Amino acid sequence: MMVALKLLPLATFTLSLADNIAPLEPVNQLPIGPQLQISHPAATRPNIIFVLTDDQDLHMQSLNYMHHVQRHLIDQGTSFSRHFCTTALCCPSRVTLWTGKAAHNTNVTNVNPPYGGYPKFLSQGFNNNYLPIWLQEAGYNTYYTGKLFNAHSVNNYNSPHAAGWTSSDFLLDPFTYWYMNSTYQRNRDPPVSYEGRHSVEVLTEKALGLLDEAVESGNPFFLGVAPVAPHANIWAPGFVDGNHTDIRDVIFGVPVPEEKHSKLFNDAKVPRTENFNPNQPSGASWIRKLPKQSQENVEYNDHFYRQRLRALQSVDDLVDGLVKRLERHGILENTYIIYTTDNGYHIGQHRLQPAKQCSFEEDINIPMIIRGPGVPKNAVTDIVTTHTDFAPTLLKIAGAPLRDDFDGLAIPLTSYGLEQATKSRHEHVTVEHWGFASNEGTLFEGWQRLYWNNTYKALRVISSSYDLHYQVWCNNDHELYDLKTDPGQMRNLLDQEETTSTKLLGVPLERVVARLDSLLFVLKSCKAGTCTRPWEALHPAGSVETLKEALSPRFDVFYAEKRQNIVFDRCEMGFILDAEGPQFVDKHERAVVDINWHHFE
């Protein structure tokens, strides 16, 4: 349900640096590098701690079980109830986070080579051109511990080292998801095994150490902390060289909590929402063919769920530790703490086994909370934000110039900014995925580990008067859900015999689909500003900024005649351009639309 932003009384409202700052000095005059010392003004620039969990859900209520996150972050900050990842898979999502680009603009689209993983991040040239480097250029010291990317392994961590970090301590494959036998690798040192210790407990120690180091440096700092929880436990020797197609070596198991948390929440179960293991199949493509889960399977999945909640207790302790340490250093009030995850998770919804990689709300609408100077406390906002927005947000906090190739928009961090955004921020989210989908629990009879052809483009469009999910799969299956009346995404409006007589938003369904098709057509290959202002590409006169405006009958002829359908030629495992039908090309296309536009107007 929609929750209004709870505004603070004006008296307690302070403008944050992020919204009114001019760069302290022309950034290109700053020396570059971790040894940089800026004397006075930098000391007052805010610090940033970014906590990035792995596969944490919003929709199965995981945050309700995190008491310290509630106390330190939700009560002291703003929760973004409509925050979305743009690809529901670890590595593409993390590369989007640290580059500010959607996956179709990074072409890091999977977890392992050739389509993803650390080697693909390197070969795409991002190791010289991503967030920590830009933050260092702005005079920040940068620290990171935990999982950076998939296929960042004990074999390739030093060829070359991930660039841009003042100090780092990375979790490495193939030990990333092995809770009780993790391997971390600090700065230029060789990897060290922590066999017998809990990965998140080790990470907490490292994060606090890096925090002390950061404070000692005297510079403003960014600290990324990326625990493995609540990801499934995986022992996967075959992952070392990023060979995901051979799954024989991969052993999936339930997440593993610390001993002291292992008996908690004995009665917790996956919420039994309408879409939980339903009697009728739902979704499209391979999802529609899934069998109903057996009782034994459901019980195992409830256990899997409890193990996630228990493993998250270590993350909750980590957050408590970080906040207390900031307080001890006297810098809590000058530090932004951002809490989010790479992608969401489903267990049992639409009959799906524990996993991600789909575009249902469970997988894409994820926890995101920010506390910090000027950020409204105990507030919930429903403005639409995505993972493409963090790179610009963090550079803005740092007072650094934004880059003109960012696909997202800085997230407002003040009452005033948030209020403005409710009127002017875009209402859409683009979601994309390529390749397989994987099950992460025990395989019950009749189930398979991998599903192929999980390549799709999806769109969420959300305002106070509508809430839609539209999707086109690589086999050209189509889905459309009206989440206002169908929050569980159980009734595909395009899966009916008689779609012609159906009305949506007061007009024939077909007319809504025509707009959504054109919008998704622009977004699937958008770059930079077009990704946040896609309607401008269709209506260059600037008269249309929302679906509602595009639905005006004035444009019926335009959309009927000029509509661009999304068509896939075939399913591919990665972003193979010629498999994805015609592409929107900004300059050229704009000219064409312009001419048509005048004709129709």
* C-alpha 516 chain-centroid distance: 22
Please report the beta strands in 221-291, taking only residues with DSSP state E, as ranges in sequence order.
221-226, 233-235, 251-253
Applying CB under 6 A, the span of 317-325, 331-339, 518-526, 571-579 interacting with ligand NAG comes to 571-579
* Terminal-to-terminal C-alpha distance of the chain: 38
578 contributes a contact to ligand NAG by CB under 6 A: no
Does the protein bind ligand NAG through residue 302 (CB under 6 A)? no
Q: What does DSSP assign to residue 267?
A: T
User: 85, 90, 358, 526: which one is catalytic?
Assistant: 90
The residue among 112 and 414 lying less far from ligand NAG, judged by its C-beta, is 112
Binding positions for ligand NAG, 244-273, rule CB under 6 A: 246
Alpha helices in 238-294 (DSSP H): none
Instruction: Establish if 453 lies at the interface with ligand NAG (CB under 6 A).
Output: yes
Type and span of the H or E element at 118: helix 117-123
Q: How far is the CB of 393 from ligand NAG (least distance, A)?
A: 27
> Which residue's CB is nearer to ligand NAG, number 5 or number 103?
103
Contact status: 438 vs ligand NAG (CB under 6 A): no
Closest approach of Cβ 238 to ligand NAG, in Å? Answer: 7
Cα separation, 485 vs 48, whole angstroms: 39
With respect to ligand NAG, which residue has the nearer C-beta, 106 or 142?
106
Kindly tell me which residue out of 491, 570, 598, 599 binds ligand NAG, with binding defined by CB under 6 A: 570
Contact yes or no for 454/443 (Cβ under 8 A) = no
By CB under 6 A, is residue 449 in contact with ligand NAG? no
Sign of CA dihedral 548, 552, 558, 563: positive
DSSP string, 520-546: HHHHHT--THHHH-THHHH-TTS---S
Residue 90 annotated as catalytic: yes
**Of these, 189, 195, 405, 594, which contacts ligand NAG (CB under 6 A)?**
195
Tokens describing residue 246: 């051979």
Residue 598 has φ and ψ, to the nearest 5°, of -60, -40
- Report 222-241 residues binding ligand NAG (CB under 6 A): 241
Least CB distance from residue 242 to ligand NAG, whole Å?
Answer: 7
SS3 364: helix
Binding pattern for the stretch 107-126 against ligand NAG, x by CB under 6 A and - elsewhere: x------xx-----------
Tokens of 231: 């990801």
Of the two residues 114 and 291, which places its CB atom closer to ligand NAG in the complex?
114
Residue from 70, 127, 129, 181 in contact with ligand NAG (CB under 6 A): 181
Q: How far is the CB of 71 from ligand NAG (least distance, A)?
A: 36
Q: Give me the least distance between CB of 263 and ligand NAG, in Å please.
A: 24
DSSP string, 377-427: TTEEE---EEGGGHHHHHHHHTTPPPPTT-SS-PPP-SHHHHHHHHHHS--
Q: How far is the CB of 414 from ligand NAG (least distance, A)?
A: 38
Residue 210 CA to residue 224 CA, distance in Å, equals 10
Peptide bond into 230 cis (omega under 30): yes
Q: Which is nearer to ligand NAG, 49 or 474 (CB)?
A: 474
Beta-sheet strands, E only, within 228-328:
233-235, 251-253
Residue 255 CB, shortest distance to ligand NAG, in Å, is 18
* Contact between 92 and 110 (Cβ < 8 Å): yes
- Told to check if 571 binds ligand NAG by CB under 6 A, we report yes
Judged by the rule CB under 6 A, the positions of this chain that interact with ligand NAG are 107, 114-115, 181, 183, 193, 195, 241, 243, 246, 452-453, 570-571, 574-577
Active site residues: 90
